[in-house]
Structure 1
Amino acid sequence: MCVCVCVCVCVCVSRCRGCMSWLPSSFAWGNFCVLAVGVWAIAQRDSIDAVLMFLMGMVLTILTDIVHFGIFYPLNEYAVENRFRFSAGMAILSLLLKPASCFFVYQMYRERGGDYNVNFGFPSVSRNREAYQSIDQQDESSGPANPFNQAQDSKPAVRTY
């Protein structure tokens, strides 16, 4: 499967290079590699890692597409050619649809059981108190309620913590 995907990516990049000559080949390679990871994520229905890699790849290609368009978009060289206008329009449409695709991929990630919690190492306060045990209700047989009244009892009590 991996060999077939690599061959398809190579063919698509070489074909697409002719119609999008204003963009570098890194644009096509990045998008087609993320497409290959997306095919892998859909094919393996039980893999959470594949969906997470696809989501991170989509976010990365959004950023790199913006950089590619900002650097390589010609101002007035090819503006009259229909081929340029079509390829630029499709590339911009692809960029505009990627955030919606990221939303749906994130929903697929959540459905498969993924829970992405961001932790930057800062201490945080949690309001979930279900996992804690209360220390207010101690067992009556384990010892006196007040540890300072042990002198009144004939034997010392064992404290449980």
Structure 2
Amino acid sequence: MELPAVNLKVILLVHWLLTTWGCIVFSGSYAWSNFTVLALGVWAVAQRDSIDAIGMFLGGLVATIFLDIIYISIFYSSFAITDTGRFSAGMAIFSLLLKPFSCCLIYHMHRERGGELPRRPDFFGPSQEHSAYQTIDTPDSPATPFASPEDKGQAAPRGY
């Protein structure tokens, strides 16, 4: 199944609008968690080539799915008495329902930027193969740019 091409800015705008409307009655941790994740989304927009930015945004959205379920289920009955409370709760629930689809789109963007999920069972361990990297203590490594010629065993040039 081919996912539609949706701009990351559109996803941010929709979730910002729904979060703002959800914060009419839901405040505190709901607002902090969602606006923090939206700030990660702004970082992902600003740095188009960053795998870390889009990965953090994706991880944050997944985390707020669970946090929103808990927060809305605890506080829904105390806020859904008035029309404003029902509207705000409805927008928070709509945002929650939209987040899995947004996660799919953002995961697709993450893959386009070259990111991938770790294949190892140690999820929080190093996720890249480092065997092709040059080690620091090899003889091919360049000398420090601030070393004096005496440190290198060479004669100092004139005027030094």
Q: Same fold (TM over 0.5)?
A: yes
RMSD, matched Cα = 2.2
Structure number with greater CO (CA < 8 Å, separation at least 6) is: 2
What is the deviation of 1:81?
A: 1.4
How far apart are the structure 1 equivalents of 2:68 and 2:79?
19
SS at match of 2:30: helix
State the AA in 2 paired with 1:109. H
Stretches of structure 1 that go unaligned for 5 or more consecutive residues are: 1-11, 122-161
CA apart distance, 1:48: 0.3
Identity %: 54
Which of the pair has more CA radius of gyration? 1
Unaligned runs of 5+ in 2: 1-16, 123-160
Report Cα offsets for 1:57-113 as digits up to 9, x if no partner.
000000000010121111xx5544110111011000000000011001100000001
Q: 1:17 to 1:91 in 2, by over 3 A?
A: closer
**Partner residue of 1:48 out of 19, 29, 51:** 51
| 1:114 to partner: Cα distance | 0.7
| Amino acid in structure 1 at the alignment position of 2:42 | V
Secondary structure of the corresponding residue to residue 73 of structure 1: helix
- The amino acid of 2:43's aligned partner reads W
Say whether residues 1:19 and 2:24 are aligned partners: yes
Q: What SS class does the counterpart of residue 19 from structure 1 fall into?
A: coil
TM-score, normalization: structure 1? Answer: 0.59
Give the structure 2 partner of residue 65 of structure 1: 68
Residue by residue over 1:13-52, the C-alpha shift from the partner in whole angstroms, topping out at 9 and shown as x without a partner, is xx879721xx340100100010010011011011000000
| 1:68-87 correspondence runs (5 A) | 68-74=71-77, 78-87=79-88
1:103 aligns with 2:90: no
Q: In the alignment, which residue of structure 2 is the partner of 1:34?
A: 37
Separation in 1, partners of 2:46, 2:73: 34
